[in-house]
A and B are shown apart, each in its own frame.
Chain A
């Protein structure tokens, strides 16, 4: 059974930093791209970032480029998101999501499993 468990959310001041983690199990972690998708309170879903199975390719939404860094440790089956220079508009539930297709990173790969999410609140 695929399981994704996020952690690391919390309250942070504007301009601060936070590191999210997502522990994965139930599949061959290194074979699949992984992503972060966020949802602001009462709003819709927004793709944030994707990383290939090897970690060699990364992609970011324009809204977070230069501030967020996605990474993974395949030896620990864990996905990360380092979030710097946080803004109020980054307040959201952050979900990690598994890519659907072996070896496919962005085009042709949807999100077939999602974690339960971790809440990030940016406020003074």
Chain B
């Protein structure tokens, strides 16, 4: 199975700053079949990005995804207060689908 490793584990930033989250796969992810989810405490995950770079419906354009092969990035251009959360990447290009361990974006 494909192992996804997210870094850093925790990102401490201030509102208005730029956040760059990394997701590295143990083998190439087919067709850039990679998504990013946001999860806040006590809530279900929310889809942000699919196909590595396409924003889901209703997702602000401050969120962007990039990458291919084994290296993927989620960028939040200017952090808003509501963006402080845990972010997970997930690949759906091979079975079983697998998730990264998450990156927590916390207020500095």
Give residues in A with beta carbon < 8 Å to B. 44-47, 50, 59, 61, 95, 100, 106-117
State the Cβ distance, B99 to closest chain A Cβ, in Å: 4
Contact size range, B = 20 to 34
The residues in B between 41 and 98 inclusive whose CB is less than 8 angstroms from any CB of A are 43-47, 50, 56, 88, 90, 92-98
Partner of B99 from the list A47, A50, A106 (CB cut-off 8 Å) is A47
Q: A50 to chain B: which residues have CB within 8 Å?
A: 97
- 12 cross-chain CB contacts under 8 A: A45-B37, A50-B97, A95-B45, A100-B50, A106-B97, A107-B30, A107-B33, A107-B93, A111-B35, A113-B47, A116-B43, A117-B44
Among B31, B92, B102, chain A packs the most CB atoms within 10 A around the CB of B92
Q: A45 to chain B: which residues have CB within 8 Å?
A: 37, 45, 88, 90, 99, 102
State the Cβ distance, A111 to closest chain B Cβ, in Å: 7
Give residues in B with beta carbon < 8 Å to A. 30-31, 33, 35, 37, 43-47, 50, 56, 88, 90, 92-102
State the Cβ distance, A48 to closest chain B Cβ, in Å: 10
The CA of A45 and the CA of B102, in the complex, are separated in Å by 9
Are A110 and B44 within 8 A (Cβ)? no
Are A110 and B99 within 8 A (Cβ)? no
B100's nearest neighbour on chain A, judged by CB, is A44
Are B93 and A47 within 8 A (Cβ)? no
The CA of A117 and the CA of B46, in the complex, are separated in Å by 13
Are B45 and A114 within 8 A (Cβ)? yes
With A107-B92, A107-B93, A109-B92 already in contact, the answer to whether A46 and B99 are too (CB < 8 A) is: yes
The CA of A9 and the CA of B12, in the complex, are separated in Å by 35
